[in-house]
Structure 1
Amino acid sequence: MAGANSTPRTSRFDQWRAGWRVSLRMARRDVRRHRGRSLLIVIMVGLPVLLLTAATTLWFTDDLDASERLPFQLGSSQGFVLEPQSTQLRQLLDPMSQTSWDGEPPASSPVPGLTKGDEKASLARLLGARLTEVTTTPATLRVGDHYQSGSVLGVELAHPEALAPRVSLEAGRWPTGPGEVLVTVQGLEHGLPASGTIGLGLLDPTGETPETAATVVGVGRGYDTQGSQYFQPTDLVTTPLTSDASQRQWLVDRGTPITWGEVERLNTYGIGVFSRYVAEHPETVTRQQEGEGGPSTTLLVVSVASLGLVLLTTLLAGPAFAVSAARQRRTLALAASNGATAGQLRRTVLAQALVLGVLSAVVGALLGVTGGVGAVAITRMVRPDLLYGPLQVPWAAVGLVAAAAIISSVVAAVIPSRGLGRLDVVSVLRGQSVSSPLRRRVPLVGVLVALAGAATVTWAAFTRPDYEFVLFLGGSVAIVVGSLLTVPLVLALVARTAHRLPLPVRMAAREAGRQRGRATPTVAAIMAGASALTVVCIGLEADTVRQARDHVPVVREGQAVIQGTTSPQRLPELARTVESSAPGVHTLVINDLVDYTQQQGAAMLAAMRPGCALPDVVPGPVGGDVATEPDTRCSTAASFARNFSGTSIQAVDLDQLTHFVGLTEEQRAAMSRGAVAVVDPLDVAQLPLPGPTGHLLRDIESLRPVTIDEDRGVATFALWRQRPGESDTTAPPRASDVRTLRLPVIHVPRDRWNRLVLIYNGSPAGIITTDSAIRLGLPVSPSGLIARADGGISTDLEARLGDAVIASQRDATFIVERGYQRDDTLALVVIFGVIGLIILVATLIATALSQTENAPLLGTLAAVGATKRTRRALAGSQALYLGMLGAVIGLLVGLAPGFGLARVVLTRVTEDGVPIQPENIPVPWLQILAPVLLVPLVAGALAWVSIRRAPVVVRRAT
Structure 2
Amino acid sequence: MPTRDQADSGRPEQGAGRLEQWRAGWRVALRMARRDVRRHRGRSVLIAVMVGLPVLLLVAGSTLWYSNDLDVAERLPLQVGQTQGFLVGPRSEALRQGLDPNTSYTPEGLEPRPAEPVPGYGPGHEAAALGSLVGGRMDPVTATTGTVRLDGRAIQVSVLGVDGEVAGAVLAPRVTLETGRWPTRTDEVVVTPVGVATGLPTSGTFELIDDSGAGNVTQRTVTVVGTGQGFQTWGSTQVEPVEVITTPSVTAASVQWLVERSSPITWPEIEQLNRHGIGAYSRYVALHPQTAALFEGDGGPPDSNSALYAVGAATLGLLLLTSLLAGPAFAVSAARQRRTLALAASNGAARAQLRRSVLAQALVLGVLSSLLGAAVGITGGLLAAVVVGRFAPRYFFGPLEVPWAAIAVVVVAGVVSSVVAALVPSRGLGSLDIVSILRGQSVSAPLRRRVPVVGAMLAGIGVATVLFASFQYDTAYFFVFLGGVLLIVIGALLMVPLVLALGARLAHRLPLAGRMAAREAGRLRGRATPTVAAIMAGAAVLTTACIALQADTLRQAANYRPTVATGQALLNTPGGPVTTAELTAAIRRVEPSIQALDLQSLSGDDESGIALTAVPAGCTLAETIRVNDATVDSTSNIAVSADEPAPRCAALSTSGSLPGSALKAADLDQLTSVLTLTPRQRSAMADGALAMLDPDATRGLPRQTRWNTGVVDVDRLRPVDIQTTDGTVMLSRYRVTPTPNGAATVAQQEQDAVRLPVVRLEHDQWVRALVTWSGGVGGLITTRTAKDLHLTASPYATILRGDGPITVEQEQRIADVVAGISADATVQVERGFQRDDGLVIALAIGTIALVILVATLIATALGQAEAAPLLGTMAAVGATRGTRRALAGAQATYLGILGAVLGVLVGIAPGIAISRILTADYSGAGMDLSTVVIDIPWLQILLPVLLVPLVAGGLAWVSIRRAPTVTKRAT
Question: TM above 0.5, one fold?
Answer: yes
Task: State whether structure 2 residue 801 is matched by structure 1 residue 795.
Answer: no
Aligned pairs (5 A) from 1:439-458:
439-458=448-467
Alpha-carbon distance between aligned partners in 1 of 2:748 and 2:123, rounded to the nearest angstrom: 49
Offset at residue 671 of structure 1 (A): 3.4
Shifted more, 84-93 versus 665-674: the winner is: 665-674
Give the secondary-structure state (helix, strand or coil) at the position aligned to 1:479: helix
Offset at residue 702 of structure 1 (A): 3.0
Offset at residue 464 of structure 1 (A): 2.7
Task: State whether structure 2 residue 678 is matched by structure 1 residue 678.
Answer: no
Shifted more, 516-525 versus 246-255: the winner is: 246-255
Alpha-carbon distance between aligned partners in 2 of 1:209 and 1:567, rounded to the nearest angstrom: 7
Offset at residue 849 of structure 1 (A): 0.8
Q: Which digits, 9 at most, give the CA deviation of each residue in 1:671-702, with x for residues without a partner?
A: 34554433355656554311134351153333
8 Å Cα contact 1:626/1:689 also seen in 2: no
Alpha-carbon distance between aligned partners in 2 of 1:771 and 1:757, rounded to the nearest angstrom: 20
Give the secondary-structure state (helix, strand or coil) at the position aligned to 1:225: strand
Task: State whether structure 2 residue 520 is matched by structure 1 residue 511.
Answer: yes
Match of 2:962 in 1: 949
Q: Which digits, 9 at most, give the CA deviation of each residue in 1:755-787, with x for residues without a partner?
A: 322344432222233444556x36242341313
Match of 2:386 in 1: 377
Match of 1:43 in 2: 49
8 Å Cα contact 2:667/2:783 also seen in 1: yes
Q: Which digits, 9 at most, give the CA deviation of each residue in 1:200-222, with x for residues without a partner?
A: 22224564644111001222211
Aligned pairs (5 A) from 1:724-739:
739=753
Aligned residue type for 2:142: T
Offset at residue 846 of structure 1 (A): 0.5
Alpha-carbon distance between aligned partners in 2 of 1:437 and 1:787, rounded to the nearest angstrom: 74
Task: State whether structure 2 residue 164 is matched by structure 1 residue 161.
Answer: no
Alpha-carbon distance between aligned partners in 1 of 2:408 and 2:215, rounded to the nearest angstrom: 56
Q: Which of the residues 899, 918, 926 maps onto 2:912? A: 899
8 Å Cα contact 2:650/2:658 also seen in 1: no
Q: Does the C-alpha gap of structure 1 residues 672 and 131 become closer, same or farther in structure 2, counting only changes over 3 Å?
A: closer
Match of 1:631 in 2: 646
Aligned residue type for 1:799: D
8 Å Cα contact 1:581/1:801 also seen in 2: no
8 Å Cα contact 1:614/1:732 also seen in 2: no
8 Å Cα contact 1:578/1:804 also seen in 2: no
Q: Which digits, 9 at most, give the CA deviation of each residue in 1:761-819, with x for residues without a partner?
A: 432222233444556x362423413131315242222231354468xxxx766665666
Q: Which of the residues 53, 61, 73 maps onto 2:79? A: 73
Q: Does the C-alpha gap of structure 1 residues 747 and 818 become closer, same or farther in structure 2, counting only changes over 3 Å?
A: closer
Offset at residue 311 of structure 1 (A): 0.3
Q: Does the C-alpha gap of structure 1 residues 789 and 593 become closer, same or farther in structure 2, counting only changes over 3 Å?
A: closer
Q: Does the C-alpha gap of structure 1 residues 903 and 279 become closer, same or farther in structure 2, counting only changes over 3 Å?
A: same
Aligned residue type for 2:130: L
Match of 2:482 in 1: 473
Offset at residue 523 of structure 1 (A): 0.7
Match of 1:225 in 2: 233
Give the secondary-structure state (helix, strand or coil) at the position aligned to 2:614: strand
8 Å Cα contact 1:761/1:784 also seen in 2: no
Aligned length: 938
Aligned pairs (5 A) from 1:409-420:
409-420=418-429
Aligned pairs (5 A) from 1:204-283:
204=212, 207=215, 209-243=217-251, 245-283=252-290
Give the secondary-structure state (helix, strand or coil) at the position aligned to 1:140: strand
Q: Does the C-alpha gap of structure 1 residues 121 and 300 become closer, same or farther in structure 2, counting only changes over 3 Å?
A: same
Q: Which of the residues 855, 859, 863 maps onto 1:850? A: 863
Offset at residue 645 of structure 1 (A): 1.8
8 Å Cα contact 1:592/1:642 also seen in 2: no
Offset at residue 273 of structure 1 (A): 1.0
Q: Does the C-alpha gap of structure 1 residues 451 and 579 become closer, same or farther in structure 2, counting only changes over 3 Å?
A: same
Aligned residue type for 2:910: P
Q: Does the C-alpha gap of structure 1 residues 603 and 934 become closer, same or farther in structure 2, counting only changes over 3 Å?
A: closer
Q: Does the C-alpha gap of structure 1 residues 387 and 724 become closer, same or farther in structure 2, counting only changes over 3 Å?
A: closer
Task: State whether structure 2 residue 543 is matched by structure 1 residue 534.
Answer: yes
8 Å Cα contact 2:58/2:311 also seen in 1: no
Alpha-carbon distance between aligned partners in 2 of 1:758 and 1:437, rounded to the nearest angstrom: 72
Task: State whether structure 2 residue 705 is matched by structure 1 residue 691.
Answer: yes
Alpha-carbon distance between aligned partners in 2 of 1:377 and 1:260, rounded to the nearest angstrom: 38
Alpha-carbon distance between aligned partners in 2 of 1:779 and 1:370, rounded to the nearest angstrom: 67
8 Å Cα contact 1:60/1:393 also seen in 2: yes
Q: Does the C-alpha gap of structure 1 residues 873 and 395 become closer, same or farther in structure 2, counting only changes over 3 Å?
A: same
Alpha-carbon distance between aligned partners in 1 of 2:731 and 2:590, rounded to the nearest angstrom: 40
Q: Which digits, 9 at most, give the CA deviation of each residue in 1:317-342, with x for residues without a partner?
A: 11111111111222222222222222
Match of 2:416 in 1: 407
Match of 2:156 in 1: 149
Task: State whether structure 2 residue 672 is matched by structure 1 residue 658.
Answer: yes
Aligned residue type for 1:422: S
Match of 2:25 in 1: 19
Aligned residue type for 2:127: K
Alpha-carbon distance between aligned partners in 2 of 1:246 and 1:615, rounded to the nearest angstrom: 40
8 Å Cα contact 2:145/2:156 also seen in 1: yes
Task: State whether structure 2 residue 202 is matched by structure 1 residue 194.
Answer: yes
Q: Which digits, 9 at most, give the CA deviation of each residue in 1:147-168, with x for residues without a partner?
A: 3332210101113122222112
Alpha-carbon distance between aligned partners in 2 of 1:889 and 1:841, rounded to the nearest angstrom: 18
Alpha-carbon distance between aligned partners in 1 of 2:367 and 2:552, rounded to the nearest angstrom: 38
Alpha-carbon distance between aligned partners in 1 of 2:274 and 2:131, rounded to the nearest angstrom: 16
8 Å Cα contact 1:571/1:784 also seen in 2: no
Q: Does the C-alpha gap of structure 1 residues 628 and 208 become closer, same or farther in structure 2, counting only changes over 3 Å?
A: closer
Q: Which of the residues 861, 879, 897 maps onto 1:866? A: 879
Aligned residue type for 2:64: L
Match of 2:631 in 1: none
Offset at residue 823 of structure 1 (A): 5.7
Q: Which digits, 9 at most, give the CA deviation of each residue in 1:184-209, with x for residues without a partner?
A: 12222222222211112222456464
Offset at residue 870 of structure 1 (A): 0.4
Alpha-carbon distance between aligned partners in 2 of 1:939 and 1:624, rounded to the nearest angstrom: 59
Offset at residue 177 of structure 1 (A): 1.8
Offset at residue 875 of structure 1 (A): 0.3
Shifted more, 278-287 versus 199-208: the winner is: 199-208
8 Å Cα contact 1:608/1:716 also seen in 2: no
Alpha-carbon distance between aligned partners in 2 of 1:524 and 1:161, rounded to the nearest angstrom: 62
Alpha-carbon distance between aligned partners in 2 of 1:819 and 1:125, rounded to the nearest angstrom: 60
Alpha-carbon distance between aligned partners in 2 of 1:596 and 1:11, rounded to the nearest angstrom: 102
Give the root-mean-square deviation of aligned CA atoms: 3.3
Aligned residue type for 2:83: S
Aligned pairs (5 A) from 1:128-143:
128-143=135-150
Offset at residue 224 of structure 1 (A): 0.8
Shifted more, 516-525 versus 369-378: the winner is: 369-378
Match of 1:3 in 2: none
Q: Does the C-alpha gap of structure 1 residues 819 and 836 become closer, same or farther in structure 2, counting only changes over 3 Å?
A: same
Shifted more, 161-170 versus 819-828: the winner is: 819-828
Aligned residue type for 2:920: T
8 Å Cα contact 2:473/2:926 also seen in 1: no
8 Å Cα contact 1:603/1:778 also seen in 2: no
Aligned residue type for 1:788: L
Aligned residue type for 1:73: Q
Aligned residue type for 2:348: G
Match of 1:391 in 2: 400
Match of 2:502 in 1: 493
Q: Which digits, 9 at most, give the CA deviation of each residue in 1:59-87, with x for residues without a partner?
A: 21122222211111111222111232232
Q: Which of the residues 873, 878, 881 maps onto 2:891? A: 878
Offset at residue 624 of structure 1 (A): 13
Give the secondary-structure state (helix, strand or coil) at the position aligned to 2:238: coil
Q: Which digits, 9 at most, give the CA deviation of each residue in 1:555-599, with x for residues without a partner?
A: 44541234335699x767876676577543322232344327552
Q: Which of the residues 764, 770, 775 maps onto 2:777? A: 764
Offset at residue 279 of structure 1 (A): 0.9
Task: State whether structure 2 residue 788 is matched by structure 1 residue 782.
Answer: no
Give the secondary-structure state (helix, strand or coil) at the position aligned to 1:862: helix
Aligned pairs (5 A) from 1:327-346:
327-346=336-355
Alpha-carbon distance between aligned partners in 2 of 1:723 and 1:623, rounded to the nearest angstrom: 23
8 Å Cα contact 1:315/1:524 also seen in 2: yes
